[in-house]
Structure 1
Amino acid sequence: MFNAQYFRTFITLVETGSFTRTAQRLEMTQPGVSQHVRKLERYLGKSLIDRQGRRFVLTEAGRRAYDYALKLFAEHEQFRHSLDDESLDSGECRIASPGSVGLMFYPFILGQQQMHTGLTVSYSFAFNHEIVTDVLAGRHDLGIVTEAVRHPEIDCEAWHQESLCLVVPADFSGTGLADLMALGFIGYSDGVNRAGGMLRQNFPGEFRSMSHFPRQGFTNEVSMVLDAVARGLGFTVVSRLVLETSPWQRQVKELPLPNPVQETLYLISRRGMRMPRRYTRLLEAFREHRLHERYGHGEPSLGESGELGQGPLAQAREERAG
């Protein structure tokens, strides 16, 4: 007979790698964990693990059972959350974004949670490709990414734009490309692409490639990249969201450039998913907050001028308007 608890125990066992830790986490006995695994193996008619003393490795059937179990519980959670999709002030929001977005968006959502105690937030910081994988697997309802996603099982729509900033040490006195090249570049994940796009727009006659710039360092954590810039080690290009939330704001400065460059943020969700209204409210409130900070009275941005896609969030907005 199908028993969801057996699958839950098996997921925990794979994630902890230990019968003892699984028993502790699930508040079971260790023999109880072993019994659940054996019963699941009998139900499926396959061995799921090869025991090697106190350790074990997954069989091929075990790997497939684990993947199925993750999908099973993700779909269950999605179904459970969908039951209260009309509530604006309650329910769980499961969101993932790159650090460049989450540095400001996550604190904003926490502020909303303080005002609406029925709201809970599960927020993950991840790279674009990880977000796509997790949305497909049902681990997140909504992903925010910095590149458009084309996938048959993903709905993707443009949502919001943020300025990119070329950031240099506070005492930097240069103005041209040669000065930046002498300073050197501090990299991070996707930093080279952002810097290349900005320099190409502003120095079209001089810029050739980021490969010509000395690499002064790299970090995979975008929130830390301005620490290196503040120490005079190089320049970088980041979203304004990163600059405005950085503790090193006074030790760095934005280098004025004639041609501003905007980065478009995209919303992704599983194809055909009806997004609960609480997500729409959070996303619109954050965008309005950013527009107010930028313009004071909220000038139109991407999406408010009719360019927003017809994904699940656009549909939810239409339903609210109706």
Structure 2
Amino acid sequence: MFNAHYFRTFITLVETGSFTRTARRLEMTQPGVSQHVRKLEGYLDKTLIERKGKSFSLTESGRRAYDYALKLFAEHEQFRHALDDDSIDSGECRLASPGSVGLMLYPFILGQQQMHPNLTVSYSFAFNHEIVGDLLDGRYDVGIVTEAVKHPDLECSVWHQEPLCLVVPADFTGNTLAELMGLGFINYYDGINHANHLLRANFPDEFRSMSHFRHQGFTNEVSMVLDAVARGLGFTVVSRLVLETSPWQRQVRALALPTTVDEVLYVLRRRDATLPKRYEKLLNGFKAQRLQETML
């Protein structure tokens, strides 16, 4: 009959190389250690060690049994931690967010996963309406969205705020609304909405609507929108998260504006679900890191 204690005794014996040290470590008698090994050999119907006086060597079957036992207990520990909803450093995390958030949040979570090998992450880059559907269908536990959501089965709460940046080509010398209109606008999924808020706050007497701007293009991938700006094709309005993670930072710049407008980010979750504590640690950890970075 399979007995995990026999495998544990065998692992310890191989690691210590001594029946005496194995007995001491496991708080057993030496005859007890020998009995576990014999029972395991009987279960596997193979000789695992060749005794040479007080020492021993592993047979080929013994080496394979040792490798299997290590894998067996490693998988057992991973499984046990995955069942522990109260564990803050282990288990599965399933999240989704727009690309503008995920460009920095996902690398942060990967860093946490590196520090905690028992933590696994499934992360989806998606639009707001897709995230809502995925949460309702149970594909993800937490969603980060850029707009407040009202749904009877979902709980929506303010999580974090990031300033919006009006991004122009690095060599753009203008600063008036008319000069921006002459430059043209590069759009993306949230582009018009963000531009409306930021331009209305900073040009209240002049700005009417983004429909008055010449639209120079659209991309559904926010991480690529600054490529178009870097090429001088127009301006755009993005979260600071996007600007700070962009490979085109040297080819663009954020236009200085008198009034700051933040993009508000919301956490979505199902009302009937109890979230493991690890989600709280991840989300709070990211906010604390952003606060520290912006204070430097």
| TM bucket normalised to smaller | 0.7 to 0.9
Q: Read off the aligned partner of 2:100 and give its amino acid letter.
A: S
Q: Aligned with 2:110: secondary structure? A: helix
State the shift of 1:245 in Å.
Answer: 0.2
Q: Where has structure 1 moved over 3 Å in runs of 4 or more?
A: 80-83
The corresponding residue for 2:234 is: 234
Q: Aligned with 2:160: secondary structure? A: strand
State the shift of 1:272 in Å.
Answer: 2.9
> Per-residue displacement from partner, 1:156-200 (whole Å, max 9, x unpaired)?
110100010000000000010001000000000120010011000
The corresponding residue for 1:97 is: 97
Q: Is the 8 A contact 1:81 1:92 kept in 2?
A: no
The corresponding residue for 1:185 is: 185
Q: Read off the aligned partner of 1:272 and give its amino acid letter.
A: D
Q: What's the % identity of the aligned pairs?
A: 72
Unaligned ranges ≥5, structure 1: 1-79, 297-322
Normalised by the size of structure 2, how large is the TM-score?
0.72
The corresponding residue for 2:195 is: 195
Aligned residues: 217
Q: Report the Cα distance in structure 2 between the residues aligned to 1:89 and 1:82, rounded to whole angstroms.
A: 10
Q: Is the 8 A contact 2:93 2:121 kept in 1?
A: yes
The corresponding residue for 1:295 is: 295
Alignment of 1:116-131 (within 5 A): 116-131=116-131
State the shift of 1:83 in Å.
Answer: 3.9
The corresponding residue for 1:141 is: 141
Q: Is the 8 A contact 1:194 1:238 kept in 2?
A: yes
State the shift of 1:295 in Å.
Answer: 1.7
Alignment of 1:41-190 (within 5 A): 83-190=83-190
Q: Is the 8 A contact 1:186 1:233 kept in 2?
A: yes
Q: Is the 8 A contact 2:145 2:268 kept in 1?
A: yes
Q: Read off the aligned partner of 1:87 and give its amino acid letter.
A: S
Q: Is the 8 A contact 1:82 1:276 kept in 2?
A: no
Q: Report the Cα distance in structure 2 between the residues aligned to 1:82 and 1:178, rounded to whole angstroms.
A: 57
Q: Report the Cα distance in structure 2 between the residues aligned to 1:205 and 1:227, rounded to whole angstroms.
A: 31
State the shift of 1:85 in Å.
Answer: 1.1
Q: Report the Cα distance in structure 2 between the residues aligned to 1:190 and 1:287, rounded to whole angstroms.
A: 22
State the shift of 1:274 in Å.
Answer: 1.1
The corresponding residue for 1:276 is: 276
Q: Is the 8 A contact 1:108 1:286 kept in 2?
A: yes
The corresponding residue for 1:299 is: none
Unaligned ranges ≥5, structure 2: 1-79
Q: Report the Cα distance in structure 1 between the residues aligned to 2:218 and 2:274, rounded to whole angstroms.
A: 40
Look at both structures and tell me which one has the larger radius of gyration over its CA atoms: 2
Q: Report the Cα distance in structure 2 between the residues aligned to 1:87 and 1:81, rounded to whole angstroms.
A: 7
Q: Aligned with 2:92: secondary structure? A: strand
Q: Which range moves more in the overlay, 80-89 or 247-256?
A: 80-89
The corresponding residue for 2:263 is: 263
Q: Report the Cα distance in structure 1 between the residues aligned to 2:97 and 2:126, rounded to whole angstroms.
A: 6
State the shift of 1:82 in Å.
Answer: 8.5
Q: Is the 8 A contact 1:155 1:271 kept in 2?
A: yes
> Per-residue displacement from partner, 1:41-93 (whole Å, max 9, x unpaired)?
xxxxxxxxxxxxxxxxxxxxxxxxxxxxxxxxxxxxxxx99842100110010
